[in-house]
Chains A and B, each alone.
Chain A
Amino acid sequence: MTSVQRQRASSAAQAALLRVDDLAKSYGGVHAVAGVSFDVPRGRITGLIGPNGAGKSTALGMIAGAIKPSRGSVLLNGTNVAGWPSHKIARRGLARTFQRSSDFSGMTVMENLLTARYGQRGDTLRGALLGRRYWRAEQESLTARAADLIARFDMARMANEFAGTLSGGQRRLLEIMRALMTEPEILLLDEPMAGVNPALGARIGDYLLQLRQDGLTMLMVEHEMSVVERVCDPVIVMAQGEVLAEGTMDQIRSDHRVLDAYLNG
């Protein structure tokens, strides 16, 4: 590559924190995802929508490392992480939530948050055996951070309750808070509004907008159109394993291919 090309490539990469190129997954003869390419721009909330079976969750899974792609690349800040195990991708600044609740139900809310950060001093065998003196200071600063998050998300009452006793909506919040403890560069959300009552859903939407204002990049798979409209820009539409359209919500809405897909898919 010439230096001009390299510069152009890097500035394009700067705009897109995450770039997916020809990502595909087949199971036997079934093409769950048939080669999708899109960019997730920095500092925005990108929506990923489409009818059931479109392959959105599979695509998300491949980006996060939970599913091994059949082919394609996933460029996270310029590094191709396709096929990496999910913990390695997470260490690169990618956080995610899950469709079904993924809280650590045997631990309290506070413990859920404290365990989130990777690379803590007391997290290795050696560090643990060296005793409290070795890891206490770091834990105290993490605790302060967790307390801030708890206050911000209005979960003070539940701070020392087992995560298993939380309501569905509170669990979603906990998941997001836990992801934030890792100070991620990009947050993947897999249907955050599923099974959440509208009032709490609106609150979650508020939080997401706040996070965007703070500069967090997000990619959100979602079915609730009202939320997508309110929060997402740009929006990518997938159907039958392929990207059908990209653009703002208005553009998407007037795209006849999208309407067809929803009617037929």
Chain B
Amino acid sequence: MSLAWSFYIATVLVYLGVDVMACWGLNLQYGYTGILNFSFIIYQSAGAYTAAVLTLGPNTAGSFQQYIGGANLPFPLPVIAGGIAGGLLSAVVGAIALRRLRSDYQAMVFLVISLIATAVVTDDVGLFNGPAGLSLIPQPMSTVLNLSLVGYRWFYVGLTAVICLIVYAFVWRITSAPLGRSFRAVRDHEQAAAALGKNVTGLRMTSFIAGGVIAGISGAVLVEFISAWSPGGWLYQETFVLFTALIVGGTANNAGAALGALLVPVAFLEGSRFLPQFGPPGLIDALQWVAVGLVTLVFLWFRPRGLLPERRRIIQVPGLQQARTGLPRPFDYEKTAETR
């Protein structure tokens, strides 16, 4: 295939990997635990900025970019640091904002937090270079490996795939363990979950932070690839695209989340690049967003569970087929207080 196509497909694959990871992270928070985290984008950004700053090197006075921190760390340390940053920021926000609040108020709180974060970063140039953001971030291992432009792209696809697998293993272990069930219990009926001894707040925080770490990693992977990041990419609409992806693909289903990532941010938004340019600039963008909104409404109406709804996990137990009535007594309740 032509070089241009090869270049483009490699790029799209990296975006796909990043979006799939982001969807897995948000799915953990929203699909499994029922947290309407409309601030998801800021944890991705935290990861992105951390990784960027740790790759750019320390801020020298008089350089055209001003930012805090800085080091020249080799890959994969910046990505790991990005994950940690996402996790730390989620811990702080979660401690403040995750509380017993009606769900729409909770969503509003998260939305406003992301607005505050955007405003602060944009206005304060000293923090992360203001609205211009950071750029010219060196790409991982690019000096070590001597690859062509396209070659490097495909190398990065491989890198992204490996990181995706690691994130998937993390998410899979959590959701297939009893912890995943506890998350879903909190989602379905938090009072009943508490009545079973589950620490609802603790479980929410765990899910929130785990999702935040994944968000940070996804942001870091993206920023190391595109070499630039600015607050304009922080808007709350970006989070909404991920929500649409989950609604379309299927919540509480990791395959569904991946499918949603493929269909919405990638196929749909990227795909519209190929439409012939019509109208004034920005028209296609605007129509894209209208379509995203419409897709969300259509799916919420016709197929709220998504294309791949939550799986029914069947647990086989030998001998259960016979329905026994009568009095086998599995438990003995005559316990004294001391044995508790």
Measuring CB to CB, which residues of chain A are less than 8 angstroms from any residue of chain B? 64-66, 77-78, 85-87, 90-93, 95-96, 98, 102-108, 110-111, 114-125, 127-129, 131-132, 135, 139, 143-152, 154, 156-157, 159-162, 175, 178, 180, 182-183, 185, 210-211, 214-216
Contacts A86-B191, A87-B197, A108-B314; A128 near B177 (Cβ below 8 A)? yes
The answer to whether A151 touches B328 (Cβ under 8 A) is yes
Would you call the interface of chain B mostly helix, strand, loop, or mixed? loop
Neighbour of B187 across the interface among A85, A90, A106, CB < 8 A = A106
Contacts A77-B337, A159-B317, A214-B329; A182 near B178 (Cβ below 8 A)? no
List the B side residues contacting A108 at CB < 8 Å.
312-315
Q: 6 closest pairs, A vs B, by CB? A: A118-B197, A128-B177, A215-B333, A122-B178, A122-B177, A102-B192
Neighbour of B189 across the interface among A103, A129, A146, A148, CB < 8 A = A103
List the B side residues contacting A104 at CB < 8 Å.
184-185, 188-189, 192-193
What are 10 A-B contacts with C-beta separation under 8 Å? A111-B181, A111-B313, A122-B178, A123-B177, A125-B206, A125-B210, A149-B330, A152-B326, A156-B321, A216-B333
Task: Answer whether residue B252 sits at the interface, using C-beta atoms and an 8 A cutoff.
Answer: yes
Neighbour of A115 across the interface among B185, B200, B335, CB < 8 A = B185
Chain A's closest residue to B317 (CB) is A147
Nearest-Cβ distance from residue B248 to partner chain A, whole angstroms: 19
The answer to whether A123 touches B178 (Cβ under 8 A) is yes
Task: Answer whether residue B143 sits at the interface, using C-beta atoms and an 8 A cutoff.
Answer: no
The answer to whether B181 touches A115 (Cβ under 8 A) is yes
The answer to whether A91 touches B179 (Cβ under 8 A) is no
Task: Answer whether residue B104 sits at the interface, using C-beta atoms and an 8 A cutoff.
Answer: no
Nearest-Cβ distance from residue A93 to partner chain B, whole angstroms: 6
Chain A's closest residue to B316 (CB) is A160
A211 to B185, CA, bound (A): 26
Which of B118-126, B168-176, B236-244 contacts its partner?
B168-176
Besides A86-B194, A104-B188, A160-B315, 4 other A-B contacts (C-beta < 8 A): A87-B200, A96-B195, A147-B317, A214-B334
